[in-house]
Amino acid sequence: MLGYLFPGQGTVRVGMGAWLRRRPVARAVLDEVDGLLTHPISALCVRGPLDRLVATEHAQLAVTACNLAALAVLREEGYEPGVVAGHSVGELTALHAAGVLGLADTVRLVETRSRLMSRVGVTGGMRAVMGLPVERVEELAALAQAPEEPLVVGLENAPGHVVVSGSTAALDRLTGLAADADKIVPLSVGNAFHSPLMAAAVPGWAEAVRAAPMAAPRVPVVPNVTGRPTEDLDVLRDALIAQLTGRVRWTDTVTVVDALGLAVEVGDSKVLAGLSRRAGARCLSMADPGTLRRLAREFAA
């Protein structure tokens, strides 16, 4: 069985999607996405500039466009997933891959999500804490936060790779407390995503999600906030709403997908494949030119 993992906005870079445009089926999807947007995204992906590409309102659309295009390549090659998941905004492409959302509705929801999140006043940020178990990072976050200055674990990316999200003051205090961490790295993001500081975007996001046409999934989906596979549409819808302020339980997700079959990172990124290796799981990447040949060998009749 194949498991599809779709990357999130932290994987954007200038030049992304260039190889996809050389595949007619992928180019057609990129052009379709551009046609759905007020401001097309493909040219920004390929040429930048980086400061515009990494902005929330562009980054989420850029990674989604590449995810959808890479998915089209796999479909053209005859592959279909047995389970899907997506990292943060990548969860929307996962829902599309599972048949829950149509392509146009996927793009419109991502555009709405990115707009709502970019409009939240910047009151914090995110930092990766390397070398500590999530339980230790949770303890440090609890010590560092204060009233009106929240700090939470936003992303459990892999063992020893945890991201905290919250107010700048609390992040600074955590950095002072975490002497046992191997490294603490500020992330180039626009705000404290997957934290209570995103609460202002939730009402608009919930309205958009509940209004979007959704069908029952054809295959199990592993939502970020639960890390458990489900085919319950109500659970998937509620999890998508909760994801805006909730934790991305990616380590659990990778473990689930690895137990079911071979994972493939579907997009123009190798980040999720690297995180999977840290978790002791196997994951190929569509950004690796040899992946389609390896899939052909693995799934030869």
Catalytic status, residue 96: no
- Smallest CA-to-CA distance from 1 within 266, 300, 299 is with 299
Q: What confidence tens digit (pLDDT) does each residue in 6-24 have?
A: 999 989 999 999 999 999 9
Q: Hey, what are 206's tokens?
A: 């919930």
Q: Pick the catalytic residue: 42, 88, 167, 276? A: 88
| Helix (H), strand (E) counts: the chain | 13, 9
Whether cis (ω within 30° of 0) applies to the bond prior to 289 is no
**pLDDT tens by residue, the chain, 301 residues:** 999 999 999 899 999 999 999 999 999 999 999 999 988 999 999 999 999 999 999 999 999 999 999 999 999 999 999 999 999 999 999 999 999 999 999 999 999 999 999 999 878 999 999 999 999 999 999 999 999 999 999 999 999 999 999 999 999 999 999 999 999 999 988 899 999 999 999 999 999 999 999 999 999 999 999 999 999 999 999 999 999 999 999 999 999 999 999 999 999 999 999 999 999 999 999 999 999 999 999 886 5
Catalytic status, residue 269: no
**pTM for this one?**
0.96
Q: What confidence tens digit (pLDDT) does each residue in 154-175 have?
A: 999 999 999 999 999 999 999 9
User: Which domains does the chain show, CATH number per domain?
Assistant: 2-120+197-300 (3.40.366.10), 125-190 (3.30.70.250)
Q: Pick the catalytic residue: 58, 96, 161, 194? A: 194
Q: What is the pLDDT of residue 100?
A: 98
Q: Radius of gyration (Cα) for the chain, nearest Å?
A: 18
